[in-house]
Structure 1
Amino acid sequence: MVKSSQSVRKYVISSALVTTLALTPVLTENVSAKADPTSTESSTSAETSILSNGAQGEDVKSVQSDLEAEGYYTSNLDGIFGPLTEEAVRDFQADQGLAVDGLVGPETESALSNSDDSTNEETTTEEPTTEEPTTEEPSSDDSASQSDVVSIAEDQIGTPYVWGGTTPDGFDSSGFILYVFDQVGIDLNRKESDMWLYDGERVESPSVGDVVFFEGTYDTEGASHSGIYIGDNKMIHSGSNGVEVADMSIDYWQDHYIGVKSF
């Protein structure tokens, strides 16, 4: 009877142990499934990256501000994603060729950001227009240069005429013009014919500091003589008597006059 009792007790214990071991894997799998952080984080990340109707906060307010800048949102910037905000989002998405779902996801947020950058660039490119009046400033410098030209030319009065001369030791007609303008930083062609064809710009009437041109003063093609206009129908030029002031109203100059250029 003792042996029989012990056998029964061992059998009961063994059966309980087997039952426990059999159930353990099932309980362990269930616990692991509930504690898995991957699915929870993924869900949270997806939720926080998209703004939709009912959302509130600074992110919503920022979206409203961007939509307002683009002309889609005209209500208060209250940070509440309501029907007006959703309608503005849908209109923006439609114009941008995005999926029209009323949700502010990565694509819509990126499009809003790019539109904001484009607006800033357009504003920047318009700024230089306010500075246009500064382009008129060189006119005073031009006046100063014209005055300098006349002053330098007057300083050379009395310099003898020298064929091929380009220095204060002696000038020919084009050498005199070349020297004076070189003193104010303006490079010209060596011959009057080339100055007339290629340098500066032609004007209808002479201003002080402009160069007047003549042709046929000797046997050569094109412009053959020149002088610096100083007003009152007078010029300073290098003629046969050297550098001097000449009256352009006399018949000789009038007969050979071909025009004036501003350098």
Structure 2
Amino acid sequence: MAQSNHTTRKYAISAALVTSLAFTPIFSGSVFANAGVGSSEGDITINESNIPNVRKTTVDEFSLIQLGDTGQAVEDLQATLHDKGYYTYTVDGIFGPITEKAVRDFQADKKLQVDGLVGPNTSEALALPASNPSGDLTITEAGNSNSTNIQSDIVATAESVIGTPYVWGGTTTKGMDSSGFINYVFKQVGMDVSRTHSEMWENDGVHVGAPNVGDVVFFEGTYDTEGASHSGVYIGNNQMIHAGNDGVRVADISIDYWQNHYIGAKSFIN
């Protein structure tokens, strides 16, 4: 493949990784104390989390087009956005703020993750050209890659709002409660889920014996309410991203607090 001016990033999650990072709950009793809403027990930093491993591991590799890139791939992107009515400026092969805004507008209309990055899902929606002999843009898809791309989108979206403050009833980047966080993440990847943890546990997705990356892990008894009372996006290695008392964080769910409240996991991926 010819040299490209844009950065290559690992994006999709391999089936092997998903299998190897399955969560095995260690139950130590049925103690359900009345904890605060969205407890922050076990919260850890991104560097301490499994997120770097999720980013690195892949079965297929593609070239991400992003702000600052130049070359034929960007020209193709601009021309496609122009044809679709999102880009009205000169097709110059320079990915600047105007091109990024056009990408974001397209992503919003197509209910994709709105990040201004042209990854596999955005590229597929735009029907950008695949690799060619002069090769700036290369996208290769492994067999049954749709689910791995969705898993990757779920984790990337959850990671993108880490640091968002906890706000009771919140469902936006200005503030989220624990179920609002789950609603926000899955809405960004084109899935509608129920508003509360208990409704999600009862009505959405399918129960799984052990969660894979991108599944949702559920807990009960974290405060005084019937049924599931908390949940988070599973990222492998006994960790989840969730909205706790201190906002959206990564948590180690192997600690006693979460093990004592764990009730199971569900997959929302069709």
TM-score category by the smaller chain? 0.3 to 0.5
Bigger fraction of residues in helix? 1
Q: Give TM-score scaled by structure 2 length.
A: 0.46
Highest RCO, 1 vs 2 (Cα 8 Å, sep ≥ 6): 2
Q: Give TM-score scaled by structure 1 length.
A: 0.48
